[in-house]
Structure 1
Amino acid sequence: MSAVPYDRFRAVFAELAAGAAQRDRSGEHPYALVAELVAAGFGRLRVPTEYGGYDADLPTLFGLLAEAGAADSNVPQILRGHFTTTEILRRERDRAVRDRWFSAVGEGAVFGNAQSEPSALAVDPATATRIHRGPGGRAVVSGTKFYSTGARFADYLRAAAVDETGRKVFVVLPARHEGVEHVDDWAGIGQRQTGSGTTILTSVPVEDDGQIGRELDSLRGLDSFVQIVHLANLTGIARNLVAETVEVVRGRTRTSRHALSESAAQDPDVLAVIGRLQARRVTAETLLEHAARRLEEAHARDDESYFAATYVETSTAQIAVIEAVLHAASEAFDAGGSSTVRTGVNLDRHWRNARTLASHNPVIYKPRVVGDHLVNEVLPVSGYYGQFAGPVERTAS
């Protein structure tokens, strides 16, 4: 691992933090600041040094994503598809594919996500997007993608499509091709500036050396990886929540008639709220570090059963982190009274953003996954393996 430029990254994080609340209110996307962060080398964190990257380990990556999430929780999600792509490339066996795309990322290219579809069935989420032949016999892709997070910020898209043999594959598409239409229609209650809208693909050419992750081995650990990105983001939200609530208490001039002190900063009940928020922040930080180190160890062991067991550990962390951060995001209002519900304070964005992140990879299923493993020794099957293991059934046209 080469020296990571923490100071450069943190300078951009400070810029992101300064305007995050206002962007949430106005709906402005942080295009320029994300570009500045990429220019500082952030997108190269997991790229091997021979391609101009830092070859950072997973604890370093997730630690920095937590810092980015504390500054603006949209940023780790914007770059989630990018870092997922670099994870696939780290295990890519095709040297030409690996060289092409690691070199591109090393020179500053950013990947966006184009995997899910709005009307997809859970068992076959890429049926509608197809690879077909365009002019001159070149492979092109047509279809519609939803939850295409980061696509509006990207140079290339990692798109899931079904090839002419009926197999689901990942292909690289130019994000700014004339056949790509980015629709800014994400209408979630939180994570509003992530570019997570619809992407319409019309005969978009597949890049040369543009099929990645063809071997299932290159997808190992991805289920855990994509979830830990969310855990890092939630941890960042918890940090920001504590800092902003502390500032609310310090600036508060009114107290309740039942308060034991005339100063909010000296009120035992208010101070106890801050203490509980901090405890939940530390819970999130500790579980994030545990999950990151566990996945790093899984890659070192490179054993399928250990990857599956790591997913159980990640799911366990997911349950506890989501519970801790959502509870903290709700309880924070107790520290400031009615003044904290004003739109100008915008404290509610932390709950909205955390709730939105918690709804991805739905946590409702994870206690059962963990319990089934502990009681019945059942290891979960990777969702990526299930989707990419073989041909999908074609629907009648």
Structure 2
Amino acid sequence: MTTHITPPRPAARITSAAQALEVANALAARFAAGAARRDRERLLPREELTELFASGLGSITVPEAFGGPALPNAVLAQVTAILSEADGAIGQVPQNHFYALEVLRVNGSPQQQARLYGEVLAGVHFGNALAEFSSASAHQRHTRLERHGEQWQVIGQKFYATGSLFAGRVPTAALGEDGKERLVFLPADAPGLTIVDDWSGFGQRTTGSGTVTFDATPADEQDIVPFQTAFERPTPVGPLAQLLHAAIDQGIGRAAWRDMLDFVRSQSRPWIDSGVEKASDDPLTLDRIGQLTARLQAGDALLELAGEAVDVAQRHTDAATVAEASIAVARARAWTTETSLAAGNLLFELAGSRATLADFNFDRHWRNARTHTLHDPVRWKYPAIGNYVLNGVLPPRRGTI
């Protein structure tokens, strides 16, 4: 029987970039107010995420042919950065949702696209169950999709399942009997599917990135989408995934920058040798703030360029456009990784000892940046960029560059 998921709240429709940014900014203003407390007490943002997907933001990449606005990827990156500035955990949760929608776009059948995009337009949130904790290498996966009589079943265990605690569906990477991976859009309440809130990372504490177990979980054939083939040929799936990761880091960096400015203006004291009466007049402080501000604004520009490159790769998909998108996104991701970490560190250097008090919970910015930037190491991005521009070597086709 074909599955159908109903969202907890029906979603509004967003039809333009301006509307998407307006909605994102309004949500961000509300989400930011409780971000420090949610992180400190590890309060999962269930209501906030319900509000997010009811706003219509979860459907802004749905193709026009299926009733969506198909907004540019630079806008998607802006929305992601805005939400991540308010709360890094909330900003990260939709990343896998949009990733699954892109896999559906490039590999789903028209029938699958119509049904699953329809759910997303209605407000359904897709989580993820891709990575595995116990394999010898990060790319190895053992979760299986097996045929038992007339029924498909998923058997295995996943970790880092960001967002699945809150989702209506859990797109799950599973090896078929032919050795190729599929993405199975399992209902979150499917029999044998257990989601455990056991994420204990010191950053991004409320993303729900824990364990998902599949104990012979039945899978409807209409929910099974080819997955591995999205990387065996050129597609924008990988660049789009990395674009959103870069936007998350950009937002986290901006949050640290914003709190730093507010604190230096209102509470920091000038150093004895500065010769000024206010910390905000300290010339060394001004220099460091100016440098970080320039780096953050450069990050915005790199994200916009990367989003445009992904747009081109989606419209005219071939090895050249996908490679160019991957490299453009790698530039943005490397830059925002380093800038977000620098911002979390500079906040304390310039704000001073008082900023370390637990009441402010400013350390969450660095913890969030450090945790999230481990997703795909920067040390592998710069060599890929250099090899492309110097030797014309195309980057690997997967979701990590």
TM-score scaled by structure 1?
0.90
Q: Is 2:198 the partner of 1:185?
A: yes
Quick check: 1:335 aligned with 2:355? Answer: no
Structure 2 residue aligned with 1:58:
73
Aligned to 1:99: 114
Q: Does 1:142 align with 2:155?
A: yes
Residues 341 and 305 of structure 1: is their aligned pair in 2 closer, same or farther, counting only changes over 3 Å?
same
| Residue 113 of structure 1: aligned partner | 128
CA contact (8 A) 1:273 1:334 kept: no
Which residue number in structure 1 is paired with residue 308 of structure 2? 293
SS of aligned partner of 1:60 = helix
2:317 pairs with 1:302: yes
Gaps of at least 5 residues in structure 1 are 386-397
Q: Distance in 1 between matches of 2:393 and 2:138?
A: 20
Match of 1:45 in 2: 60
Q: Does 1:19 align with 2:34?
A: yes
Select between 85-94 and 336-345 the one with higher mean Cα deviation: 85-94
How big is the shift at 1:317? 2.4
1:355 corresponds to which residue?
370
Q: Aligned equivalents of 2:138 and 2:278: distance in 1?
A: 57
Q: How many Å apart are 1:360 and its aligned residue?
A: 0.8
Give the CA deviation at 1:32.
0.4
Identity fraction in percent: 33
8 Å Cα contact 2:323/2:394 also seen in 1: yes
Q: Is 2:234–2:319's contact at 8 Å kept on the other side of the alignment? A: no
Contact preservation (8 Å) 2:230, 2:237: no
- State which of 239, 248, 270 in structure 1 corresponds to 2:254: 239
Pair 180,93 (structure 1): closer, same or farther in 2 beyond 3 Å? closer
* Change beyond 3 A, Cα 1:123–1:71: closer
| 2:143 corresponds to 1:129 | yes
Residue 220 of structure 2 is matched in structure 1 by 207
Deviation at 1:377, TM superposition (A): 2.2
Q: Is 1:53–1:106's contact at 8 Å kept on the other side of the alignment?
A: yes
- State the AA in 2 paired with 1:147: Y
Aligned length: 383
- Out of 183, 186, 211, the residue aligned to residue 198 of structure 1 is 211
Point out where structure 2 has 5 or more consecutive residues left out of the alignment.
Answer: 1-13
In the alignment, which residue of structure 2 is the partner of 1:157? 170
Aligned-residue offset at 1:77: 1.5
Q: What is residue 216 of structure 1 aligned with on the other side?
A: 230
Q: Please say if residues 72 and 307 of structure 2, whose CA atoms lie closer than 8 Å, have aligned partners that are also in contact.
A: no
Distance in 2, Cα, partners of 1:74 & 1:362:
19
Residue 175 (1) aligns with residue 181 (2): no
Q: Which amino acid aligns with 1:143?
A: G
**TM-score under structure 2 length normalisation:** 0.89
Q: CA deviation at 1:121?
A: 4.1
What CA deviation, in whole Å up to 9, does each residue of 1:307-338 have, x standing for no partner?
A: 12321222222222222221222122122111
Instruction: State the secondary structure of the residue aligned to 1:161.
Output: strand
Distance 2:15 2:130 in 1: 32
Taking a change above 3 Å as real, the CA distance of residues 212 and 104 of structure 1, as seen in their structure-2 partners, is same
SS at match of 2:273: coil
The equivalent residue for 1:392 is none
Hey, what's the Cα distance between the residues in 2 that align with 1:51 and 1:373?
36
* Counterpart AA for 2:298: T
CA distance in 2 between partners of 1:266 and 1:163 (Å): 63
> 100-109 or 318-327: which moved more?
318-327
- Is the CA contact 1:2–1:49 (under 8 Å) kept in the aligned structure 2? no
In the aligned structure 2, how far is the partner of 1:88 from the partner of 1:64? 20
By how many angstroms is 1:83 displaced? 0.4
Partner of residue 5, structure 2: none
Tell me the CA shift for residue 253 of structure 1: 5.6
1:199-253 Cα offsets, whole Å, 9 max, x none, are 1111212134111245538871122111111111111122222221111012116
Deviations 1:359-397 (A, max 9, x none): 111112112222222333211221269xxxxxxxxxxxx
Alignment correspondent of 1:251: 266
| C-alpha deviation, 1:180, in angstroms | 1.6
* Contact 1:100-1:209 within 8 A present in 2 as well: no
CA RMSD of aligned residues (A): 2.1
User: Which residue number corresponds to residue 393 of structure 1?
Assistant: none
CA contact (8 A) 2:238 2:397 kept: yes
